[in-house]
Structures are given as C-alpha cells and as structure tokens.
C-alpha cells in the first residue's frame, strides 16, 4: 500500500492547534480507527501514569470532536474514573475530510501497531490506490472485506495484497488476484473457509506461475470435487508442509497442480516442485 505509517500528507501535521478538551466530548469514527483493545486497557489501568499522557489528536468535523490518535489513552482515563468536564491536552485539526483523517491516523501511529485488517480498512478510507483496487476486485466477485464469520467475507487482507503484488513470482498482478478469487468462488461458492490466507495465496501462486497454461473451467470443476472441500485441500497441504518443510501456500499450490493434472491425458502442468 502507498499509505503507510510515517508518511503524513504534506503540510498536514503543522495545521493542528493545541488546546484542552473535555473527555466527555471526545468521540471516535470507526471508519478511521483500529478496533478497541479492551484487554490491553484492563491490563494497563494499574500501571498507567496520567503524567505521561501526551496529546490526543482530534479532528473537529460536523461539530464533533473525533479522536484521530489516542483512543486507547482516553479509554484508559475513563476506566480510571476520569469523565465529565475533566480536560486533556489535544492537537486539534479543523476542516479535514474523512480521507484526510484516515491518512493522518496512518501517518501518526503509536507504539501499538494497528492490526493488519484495521490498517488495510483505514487505508481504503484514506484513498490508498492499491487498497481501493483490491477492494474493487473483491466486490466484483460478490465478496466483501470483513472480519465477520459469514459467507463471502474475506479477512485475509495480507494474502490478497501478496497475490496483488505478484506473490514474489511476478510484478504487480491485479488480474491474477481477480482470477484467484473467481476460481475460489467458482469452486466453492461463498464458503468462508475457501477465502482463508493459505488458499488465497496458494491459488494465487498457481495462477501466476501457470497463467495461460491451464483451463480455468476444468480447474474449477476439479477443485469443486476435491475431497473435503477447501478445508480438505488446506489439511492435505499442511501434511505436505510437515513432510517437505516448505511454505504452506506453496504446498497448497502443489496440491492444486496435482488435482488439475489428475486424469488428464494432455496439457499436464507437471510437478510444482520441479
């Protein structure tokens, strides 16, 4: 992704002004924030020293005081009994768009690195070109980016990025990602287990290496009939990984080659490991 930590929009950081705001007025917009880590807050209540609180970064948007950076520190104070009109030091911005708030969050960061999914989700809000393109490809297959355990939901954003970037076998390959998701969707529908990281990356590796050398409908048909479905494919790959000490995704790709070649008289792809 192009938007990463330590990359602030030019001149944006200097536009903030310092002021004190009441804790009761501070809110968050989930679109630009990581998920709240309540176990972390509970663990730090006994050891947190408000003297080292620092500044909360706030955006005033639509009359609301929205936390850009510092929601965990604010929640720590609330857990310690701070509330109401008690005020905290803030670095305040006005007139930012939602995308600018997301970009500011990504640029500022702190010692608690955001989870990969949160970082990816916020990068979409910030308008990151790669993240937005990946989301477009996912939606084009009737799927969604979500951590919810439901059909058609994909949370393995790192695997999506790796395939999009060529998986170490090629240059950036958005077409390969689209083909990968199309194959998985064609073989197993919206079964959530079909869109876990090993299968996304394994199919992606297969597609990138053998692009133009395989018949897609035939592959989809073979995978749809594979024993145990997507979980079975992953389970067999784990057995190969333990025996060969090779990366799991490559073991998945090897299994896909074997499934594709099975019963074919011509057009076989051969041993993945050769």
**Residue where the block lists tokens 């305040």:** 92
Decide: 26 and 83 in contact? Cβ < 8 Å: no
Q: Higher pLDDT residue, 108 or 182? A: 182
- Could you tell me the pLDDT band of residue 13, with boundaries at 50, 70 and 90? low
Give pLDDT, residue 51.
67
Give pLDDT, residue 163.
94
pLDDT at 213 over 90: yes
Worst-scoring range by mean pLDDT, 16-30, 117-131, 160-174, 198-212? 117-131
CA 183 to chain centre: 21
The residue-averaged pLDDT of 156-181 equals 90
Decide: 165 and 175 in contact? Cβ < 8 Å: no
- Could you tell me the pLDDT band of residue 167, with boundaries at 50, 70 and 90? confident
Question: What string of DSSP letters covers the chain?
Answer: ----TT-PPTTTGGG-EEEEEEGGGEE--GGGSPPP-HHHHHHHTTT--GGG--PEEEEEETTEEEEEE-HHHHHHHHHTT--TT-EEEEEEEES--HHHHHHHHHHH--SSPPPHHHHHHHHHHTT-HHHHHHHHHHHHTT-EE-SSSSTTEE--HHHHHHHHTTTTTSS--HHHHHHHHHHHHHHHTT-GGGGSHHHHHHHHHHHHHTTTSS-HHHHHHHHHTSTTHHHHHHHHHHHHHHHH---HHHHHHHHHHHHHHTT-SS-----TT-
pTM, entire model:
0.67
pLDDT at 113 over 60: no
pLDDT at 10 over 80: no
pLDDT at 228 over 90: yes
Give the burial string for 88-112 (b: 16+ CB within 10 Å, else e).
Answer: bebbbbeebebbbbbbbbbbbeeee
Give pLDDT, residue 172.
74
How far apart are alpha carbons 119 and 101 in whole angstroms? 13
pLDDT at 208 over 60: yes
Give pLDDT, residue 144.
94
Give pLDDT, residue 1.
43
274 Cβ contact partners less than 8 Å away, ≥ 6 residues apart: none
Tokens of residue 20, six digits: 């004190």
Worst-scoring range by mean pLDDT, 36-50, 64-78, 122-136, 166-180? 36-50
Q: Which domains does the chain have, with CATH numbers?
A: 14-113 (3.90.1530.10), 129-261 (no CATH)
The residue-averaged pLDDT of 116-125 equals 81
Decide: 203 and 252 in contact? Cβ < 8 Å: yes
Give pLDDT, residue 6.
36
Give pLDDT, residue 115.
66
Name the average pLDDT for the chain.
85
pLDDT at 90 over 80: yes
């Amino acid at each position: 992704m192009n938007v990463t930590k330590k990359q602030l929009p030019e001149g944006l950081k200097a536009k903030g002004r310092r002021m004190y705001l009441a804790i009761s007025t501070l809110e968050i917009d989930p679109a630009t924030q990581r998920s709240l880590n309540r176990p972390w807050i509970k663990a730090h209540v006994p050891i947190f020293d408000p003297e080292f609180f620092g500044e909360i970064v706030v955006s005033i948007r639509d009359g609301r005081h929205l936390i850009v950076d510092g929601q965990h520190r604010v929640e720590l104070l609330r857990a310690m009994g701070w509330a109401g009109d008690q005020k905290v030091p803030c670095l305040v911005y006005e007139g930012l768009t939602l995308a600018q708030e997301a970009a500011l969050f990504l640029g500022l960061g702190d010692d608690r690195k955001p989870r990969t999914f949160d970082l990816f989700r916020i990068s979409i809000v910030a308008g990151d070109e790669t993240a937005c393109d990946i989301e477009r490809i996912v939606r084009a297959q009737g799927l969604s980016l979500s951590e919810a355990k439901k059909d058609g939901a994909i949370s393995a954003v790192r695997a999506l990025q790796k395939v999009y970037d060529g998986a170490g076998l090629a240059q950036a390959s958005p077409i390969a990602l689209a083909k990968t998701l199309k194959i998985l969707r064609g073989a197993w529908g919206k079964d959530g287990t079909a869109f876990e990281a090993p299968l996304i990356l394994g199919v992606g590796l297969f597609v990138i290496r053998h692009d133009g050398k395989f018949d897609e409908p035939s592959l989809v048909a073979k995978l749809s009939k594979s024993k145990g479905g997507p979980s079975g494919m992953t389970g067999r790959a784990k057995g190969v990984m333990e025996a060969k000490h090779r990366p799991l995704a490559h073991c998945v790709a090897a299994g896909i080659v074997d499934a594709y070649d099975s019963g074919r008289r011509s057009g076989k792809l051969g041993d993945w490991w050769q």
